[in-house]
A and B are shown apart, each in its own frame.
Chain A
């Protein structure tokens, strides 16, 4: 799906870069939507819409929390399988069905939905307003309905597995940050996705059964529509009540994966584990009360704008804490640049860049002039698009040995990372300035405005960067598929990591562990602990085996253990006893 959506983006980037040029090859593939080799305005909007929808929902939501939750929750928590395997399967197949329905809209007469990925009514409700709001929109709604059902089943499964099925010794504060992120993401999804379904159902009613939830006082041409009393703003409230938590559903798993990858490859404990968890919790809670910042200029009561501005800017605080903690984790580390680590660092970089532009947009006064411009496009492509994708790539590179028992080629990984990382910045950084010049998003061509002419060269540059970035993904895809069959065989714990998934055998077996499920004794981040022989101590190693490296706070106030440790220290390492216990 990601590849398809990327292809769509290349198509519309071509249109933006060369609005006057004809590409007859496009007509071969697209037929009447690109008559004479030029994409039509309607189809351009359809491309933008489906690109957004697929990327946000089908790639970043399903690809990050869906894939990695199912992989890592059981493996990192010491569980034989998810709480409800059947529901899990159902969730998968419903997701598959949703994908098929979404893509099928490319094969119908009126084309796919084209009201933007946020499908604001009345544009999305009236087939007369735009052809894509005909059958294409119906398919979009059906697909989203099924997609949300799939997400909910998945989410319930993740939460129940995390809460009920952790192995012996794995209390919540011993969970890796990945699991914390998946857990909170699932909660977020369970609480917010149903609201989207409610909105979708109402929109289906408006479209097909003549209700007026979102429609009122509408005249198409001179035809007065009978709908009265509805409000298009209602859809926006319902949509963004999901829509904003959604961006955190996308980014939190990426943050969790990066935390794990950065810690493992810096050979250091993640800095401020508790702060990381609390900031995730903070983001989770706050994300429910910031949706209005998408609606500063809808004409809703300005008082609400003020309130949402306050909550929105508060959410920057936990995000800042996370960023600084990542930096502190790198400090005096012993960094191994695996492709996963590179992607995680890239993720942090994008998260900073995109997060900072969020401070502009979260400020209602500044949003007046930036809303719906390319500044917004640049902002969310950095913070939610690139950052999340890099989190996902980091996850793929890191856990590939677990998934397929083989290693990916590191050098191809480096090539892929560097080209993608550089091109992503080349694509999205200049777009900020288009926004600052007042160029609105979703414009089919810049030809009609005198002042936009100067940006056409920038558009060409951006399009070329995007094409190069897209080609770089061939390196990744080749690496991925080739390594499944011909990659170097992986050892059991290739990254010398502490977490439980690396205690399973390389060969997959039903129930994950042969024999007993391992017991957990310590937190997952004992890397480079002073006094330890290796620079990592897996979670399954009890403190009794690491007497030389134990620290007072390891015992969480257990007097008996502390006494034993003190006696051991007095006997074996008098200087250490001095340092820690006096």
Chain B
């Protein structure tokens, strides 16, 4: 190929690029001018167009630079060719070396990520089953990291060592059944172990045997766009029935107050739970799908309209202990929504406070009941004078067996017709 012809081509190309750049500049200038002229709005658009044009120019300049470098390389290679010298740049070597560099920098990057970002993740699980999940996670992490690092070292080093040298012929090696059997069976075995462990953990989370001496505290969570409603069972320990058809402005959950279990149900602004006591979450939704996500406790379950789901867990660390553990006095447990549910999805949270049993007992009696005189009227129940404080302070709900609800109802004859 004649070098001269190539150079003239190059000149034309460079000219074309320069012309394009100027054309673009003038186009942007015009646009900016038009924008400035049409700017009746309070915002002056001129500087904005100017900065947009500036960045575009910058990018075009970068393109021009790359084009010039590219052309220079081509010219260099063609000169070498014209002088019958060996090819100027061996791109196989360049790419092979780049793969090794990428491997080294990448390994450092992974190390950086594991150590720096790895320390920014959630603290240790604050629940019984969460500890098991964390253990599983660590095992999986170790195994996958080994495979991840190992295969990438092999991949990139092979790329480097077996790059084309022009001297060798590749080794004809179509298959090796023994080898293939090994790398079918070994992953299969490892995965079997992981499956078994995962399966057992999964079962232990969702199939709980109730301890009659330590009955779970039921708490109902209802989601709607974009708030959570927390309902405590009250003295009887039973969350009352509800029906979505009863939902009105005053009865936000649609609680059926004909059901005596509803009469002592309490509403709370935050979820307060006693440490080391099982909690049974009853999850429901009023409108669309949401997801109840309480990451510190390794809990997530969708809330589904028309379907009630349950999750039982035992918190093991109080908020105060966690604050000292993570060395952050402002630390709070939270639960929030993790299933896309609309424009307010990104801000749908409640605070969770894990406290001692005594603190819980003191807190829970202060929570207001759902029932009020408007609702009593609506459900034909006798009106109780609003004395401020609840008439009969709920006893320790946790101390009573859950099935005691009828007895509790008997204790409140005033509410009976």
Contacts and interface: CB of A to CB of B under 8 A. Distances in A.
Contacts, number: 353
B288 interface: yes
Contact of A310 (B140, B199, B283): B199
A120 B340 contact: yes
A283 to B, nearest CB: 13
A481 to B, nearest CB: 14
A284 interface: no
B368 interface: no
Contacts of A348: 155
Contact of B159 (A45, A310, A330, A443): A330
A536 B291 CA distance: 57
B113 A429 contact: yes
A218 B173 contact: no
Interface string B233-269: 0000000000011011100001000000000000000
Nearest to B205: A365
B175 interface: yes
A216 B305 contact: yes
A306 B48 contact: no
Contact of A268 (B35, B148, B172, B332): B172
B191 A122 contact: no
Contacts of B152: 349, 352
Nearest to B286: A219
Contacts of B102: 421-422
Interface residues of B, number: 120
A529 B169 CA distance: 9
Given A216-B305, A316-B187, A115 B198 contact: no
A24 B70 CA distance: 36
Interface string B276-294: 0000000100111101010
Given A42-B343, A310-B195, A433-B117, A123 B305 contact: no
A299 B339 contact: no
B154 to A, nearest CB: 5
Contacts of A332: 162, 170-171, 173
A535 interface: yes
B170 A219 contact: no
A28 interface: yes
B298 A369 contact: yes
Contacts of A116: 340
Contacts of A357: 144
A120 B191 CA distance: 31
Contacts of B59: 471
Contact of A122 (B113, B288, B344, B347): B288
B300 interface: yes
Contacts of A359: 140, 143-144, 191, 194
Contacts of B68: none
Nearest to B303: A299
A313 interface: yes
A266 B48 contact: no
Nearest to B192: A313
Interface in B25-49: 35, 43, 45, 48-49
A544 interface: no
A216 B306 CA distance: 5
Given A122-B287, A297-B300, A302 B170 contact: no
A269 interface: yes
Contact of A368 (B165, B172, B300): B300
B148 A123 contact: no
Interface residues of A, number: 125
Contact of A352 (B66, B151, B179, B244): B151
A443 B348 CA distance: 10
Interface string A194-230: 0000000000000000000001111110101000001
B40 to A, nearest CB: 14
Contact of A366 (B198, B302, B346): B198
B343 A372 contact: no
Interface in A312-343: 313-314, 316-317, 320-321, 323-328, 330-337, 342
Given A24-B48, A116-B340, A336-B92, A309 B202 contact: yes
Contacts of A420: none
B293 A438 contact: yes
A116 B254 CA distance: 29
Given A365-B201, A443-B345, A45 B340 contact: yes
Interface in B139-161: 140-141, 143-144, 147-148, 151-152, 154-155, 158-159
A414 B92 CA distance: 11
B104 interface: no
A123 B342 contact: yes
Given A313-B194, A440-B336, A222 B306 contact: no
B301 interface: yes
A496 to B, nearest CB: 12
Contacts of B49: 25
A444 B340 CA distance: 10
Contacts of A432: 113
Given A321-B183, A331-B162, A444 B170 contact: no
Given A129-B225, A222-B249, A299-B301, A41 B151 contact: no
Contacts of B293: 372, 438, 440
A277 to B, nearest CB: 12
Given A273-B174, A368-B133, A306 B202 contact: yes
Given A298-B302, A337-B92, A345 B170 contact: no
A271 B247 contact: no
B244 A449 contact: no
Interface of A: 24-25, 28, 40-42, 45, 115-116, 120-123, 126, 129-130, 215-220, 222, 224, 230-233, 266-275, 297-299, 302, 305-306, 309-310, 313-314, 316-317, 320-321, 323-328, 330-337, 342, 345, 348-349, 352-353, 356-357, 359-360, 363-366, 368-369, 371-373, 409-412, 414-415, 418, 421-422, 425, 429-430, 432-433, 436-438, 440-446, 448-451, 454-455, 458, 471, 474-475, 525, 527-530, 535
| 6 closest cross-chain pairs (CB), A and B | A438-B295, A299-B309, A216-B306, A302-B206, A440-B338, A337-B95
15 contacts: A24-B45, A25-B48, A120-B339, A217-B306, A269-B172, A273-B175, A302-B205, A316-B187, A330-B162, A334-B162, A337-B96, A357-B144, A366-B136, A371-B338, A412-B70
Given A332-B171, A333-B170, A366-B137, 15 more contacts: A28-B48, A45-B340, A272-B174, A309-B202, A314-B191, A320-B184, A324-B183, A352-B152, A353-B148, A359-B191, A368-B298, A429-B110, A438-B293, A455-B120, A530-B172
